[in-house]
Amino acid sequence: MPAPRVRFCPAPSGWLHVGGARTALYNWLYARGRGGAFVLRIEDTDAERATDASMHGMVAALRFLGLDWDEGPEVGGPHGPYRQSERGPLYAAVANALLEADAVYDAYETAEELAAEREEAQRAGRSPGYAGGHRDLTDEERQAYLAEGRRPVLRVRTPDRGEVSFSDAVRGTVSFDWKDIPDFVVQRADGTSTYFLANAVDDVAMGVSLVARGEDLLSATPRQLLLYELLSREGLIDRALADSGYPARPADAVLPSFAHLPLLVGEDRKPLSKRHGSVAVDEFRRQGYLPEVLVNFLALCGWSYDATSERFTVDELVERFGFERVGRNPSFFDTAKLRAMNGDRIKELDDRELAERLLPHLDEAGLAGMPPLPAERELVLGLAPLLRERIQTLADAVPLVAFAFLDEVTWDERAVAKWLKGSARDVLAAVAAAFEGVGDWNVESVTATLDGVAAELGLGTGKVYQPVRVAVSGTDRTPPLPETLALLDRAVVVRRLRAALERIVD
RNA sequence: GCUCCCGUCAUCUAGCGGCCCAGGAUACCGGCCUUUCAAGCCGGCGGCGCGGGUUCGAAUCCCGUCGGGAGCACCA
């Protein structure tokens, strides 16, 4: 059996969202696990929607996730080009051959007429698909339409009866009746190819052996199958490839089989879309989710290994993934669970690693520079072990330790009201004085000083730690106090304690 | 309207006729620990959409029903 060839083919409009990323991941895992090839193809046949910025964003998001491609934009490959906007002549050649073979016909309705027809059909309770009005035009009729200035689209003649069925790697046998499948457009009036044609032509031309995509395309499959058959009939595709100057398909090419993945839905059970807030991969990156966690989590959105395992390294996923174990029901993209997994992964990072991953987020928040100053790097390294148990995403660290980087403390008025009052006046004054007299400024000496003040004033440790915490950080939720203070400059700490005295109300 | 797909705790998922009066994870609740916030440990809550069959036995098979989703574009 030849090595599998799979592909991910996003339409470059908008950002790569998690649903698309999941599709890309499954294809990638499948290819990597079986020594196959993963092809990235950009489906930008719709010039109105496709943008370069979107394409670059998608490429960047895939790279962030660690999904590399063997053929595609930026890396090339033997069956390119890999942007459909650069393959127009091929599609035109195929459409032409299809027309000569009478597999497609020219239809002259305008978009408005079709919309009206659709509406009418809906109203009458009929299926809104094309009814086949221009299936058998005479040459006179054609001339008349042409004379009116109309340009035809090309539609495929679909069978009027019979059944199609195919074996889906996820769903088993699926079948449709041809009578339910209307003649569909393969070439627009402006001569460009639609998704159906371009997608089918490229999958066949690139020797794709398995098409794994979202379930929303399940009912498009019969049309694809028809096209595959038409394309391979009498070497049509091979001739078109040769005639229009594109690379021949792989010698061992087979026609694609299918795997339809369940949809990813939001909390309202509707398929994920921009309406659901942040669903873009890049947004998750900004929020501080680790790529290996996203990969692990995405793998679990539809696939499972056994009853109890759910933490996998990328290598383990590559080894274990298979479409047989992809479920058939839609899965909810549960960010709470993602957070938990991300938090667990952060706990596995050592100080250096965590600090390195934290730095870009601190930079984005305006706390440290990029690249960081040596002192900033050192501070972050010191903070890393204190943060590890307390954050679930890298961005969670920002509010927790911002005070360690900023000159101005941001006051949490609730915390101030609760702790900077009463005995806090004596506490802050005593601690400030005691800190000034400390020999070595380190965790042990800070702890001893704090505990000493508590004993001296006859107060519980909470009555001492909390006011000090608020005075230095502005809030009552921070990493452990002595450990944090020891990382700061002593003079800064003392200055803040004294400044906080001003805010005390009795 | 028609076609296709799906239906196990709040959420994701294991289950493919007896191992299941249903297992794991997240979330939630409680306890311990504690200088805050966390983390950790221990414990708890909680589900086979419904109705018929088939069978000694059904979450698992069949039929029906209800519910959800997708598609039916000169968008992909």
Q: Is residue A341 part of a domain?
A: no
Q: Residue A201 to residues A8, A69, A98, A234, A278: CA-CA distances in angstroms?
A: 15, 20, 12, 15, 34
Calpha distance A261→A26 (Å, rounded): 9
Distance A338 CA to B43 C1' (A): 25
- Is residue A344 one of the residues assigned to a domain? no
A244 touches strand B (CB under 7 A): no
Cα A67 to Cα A314: distance, rounded to the nearest angstrom: 10
Q: Give per-residue pLDDT as tens, A360-415.
A: 999 998 888 888 889 889 999 999 999 999 999 999 999 999 988 888 888 888 88
* Domains: count for chain A: 4
| CA A172/CA A140 separation, integer angstroms | 48
Query: What pLDDT sits at residue A57?
Result: 92
Say yes or no: A74 and A116 in one domain: no
Q: What DSSP letter does each residue of A3-39 carry, written as one string?
A: PPEEEE----SSPPBHHHHHHHHHHHHHHHHTT-EEE
* A182 and A216 co-located in one domain: yes
Please check the confidence at residue A274 and state whether its pLDDT lies above 70: no
Q: Give the Cα separation of A38 and A157 in Å (integer).
A: 33
- How many residues in chain A? 506
Does A406 or A228 have the greater pLDDT score? Answer: A228
Query: Could you read off the pLDDT of A445-463 as tens digits, one per residue?
Result: 899 999 988 888 888 888 8
Tell me what pLDDT residue A198 has.
94
Note whether A98 and A222 are same-domain residues. yes
Instruction: Give yes or no for CB of A332 within 7 Å of strand B.
Output: yes
Q: Which tokens hold the place of A289?
A: 């989710």
Q: Tell me, yes or no, whether A218 and A289 share the same domain.
A: no
Residue A338 inside a domain? The answer is no
A271 pLDDT exceeds 80? no
Q: Are residues A365 and A310 in the same domain?
A: no
pLDDT 10s digits, A83-133: 999 999 999 999 999 999 999 999 998 888 888 888 888 777 777 888 878
Which residues fall within 8 angstroms of residue A222, CB to CB, at 6 or more apart? A158, A164, A176, A178, A181
Residues A72, A102, single domain; the answer is no
Last residue of one domain, picked from the residues A220, A240, A261 = A261
Find the residue closest to B8 using CA and C1' atoms. Answer: A329
Query: What's the confidence (pLDDT) of residue A290?
Result: 95
Give a three-class secondary structure readout of A112-174.
Answer: HHHHHHHHHHHHCCCCCCCCCCCCCCCHHHHHHHHHCCCCCEEEECCCCCCEEEEEECCCEEE
Reduced to 3 DSSP states, what percent helix, strand and coil does chain A have, rounded to the nearest 5? 50, 10, 35
When the pLDDT of each residue in chain A is averaged and rounded to a whole number, the result is 89
pLDDT confidence of residue A272: 66
pLDDT of residue A476: 87
Is A311's CB less than 7 Å from nucleic acid strand B? Answer: no
A72 and A117 in a single domain? The answer is no
pLDDT band at A273 (very low <50, low <70, confident <90, very high): low
In terms of domains, do A181 and A215 share one? yes
pLDDT at position A32, please? 95
Q: Is the CB of A443 under 7 A from strand B?
A: no
> Quick one: pLDDT at residue A117?
83
By the 8 A CB rule, do A409 and A473 touch?
A: yes
CA→C1' distance for A340 and B42 (Å): 20
In a domain, A342, yes or no: no
The domain that holds A449 is classified in CATH as: 1.10.10.350
The model's confidence at residue A268, banded by pLDDT at 50, 70 and 90, is low
* Whether residue A95 sits in one domain with residue A76: no
- Average pLDDT for residues A147-151, to the nearest whole number? 90
> Is the residue at A417 inside a domain?
yes
Residue A126 domain boundaries: 87-261
Residue A343 in any domain: the answer is no
Share of chain A above pLDDT 70, in %: 97
Residue A374 Cα distances to A168, A353, A367, A398, A402, angstroms: 56, 16, 14, 19, 18
Q: Which pLDDT score, from 0 to 100, does residue A278 have? A: 60
Rounded Cα–Cα distance for residues A123 and A118 (Å): 9
User: Measured between alpha carbons, how far is A169 from A211 in angstroms, rounded to an integer?
Assistant: 10
Tell me, yes or no, whether A420 and A307 share the same domain.
Answer: no
Chosen domain end from A221, A246, A261: A261
Determine whether the distance from the CB of A127 to the nearest atom of strand B is below 7 Å: yes
Exposure string over A43-68, b if 16+ CB within 10 A, otherwise e: bbbbeeebeeebbebbbebbebbebe
Provide the ipTM: 0.91
Kindly state whether residues A241 and A126 are assigned to the same domain.
yes
Q: What is the reported pLDDT for A114?
A: 86
In this predicted structure, the answer to whether residue A51 has a pLDDT above a threshold of 90 is: no
Domain for residue A273, yes or no?
yes
| Same structural domain, A247 and A394 | no
Asked if the model's pLDDT at residue A345 lies above 70, the reply is yes
β-pair type (A210-214, A257-261)? parallel
Confidence of residue A275 (pLDDT cuts 50, 70, 90): low
Is A13 domain-assigned? Answer: yes
Interface residues 404-423 of A with strand B (CB < 7 Å): none
- Evaluate if the CB of A195 falls below 7 Å from strand B: yes
- Catalytic sites of A, residue numbers: 274
Domain stops at, among A404, A422, A450? A404
User: Quick one: average pLDDT of A339-349?
Assistant: 94
For residue A153, the cross-strand partners are A107
Nearest nucleotide to A197 (CA to C1') is: B76
What secondary structure letter does DSSP report for A179? G
Q: Which nucleotide is nearest to A303 (CA to C1')?
A: B13
CATH number for the domain spanning A241: value is: 3.40.50.620
Closest of A506, A372, A490 to residue A498, by C-alpha: A490
SS3 A67: coil
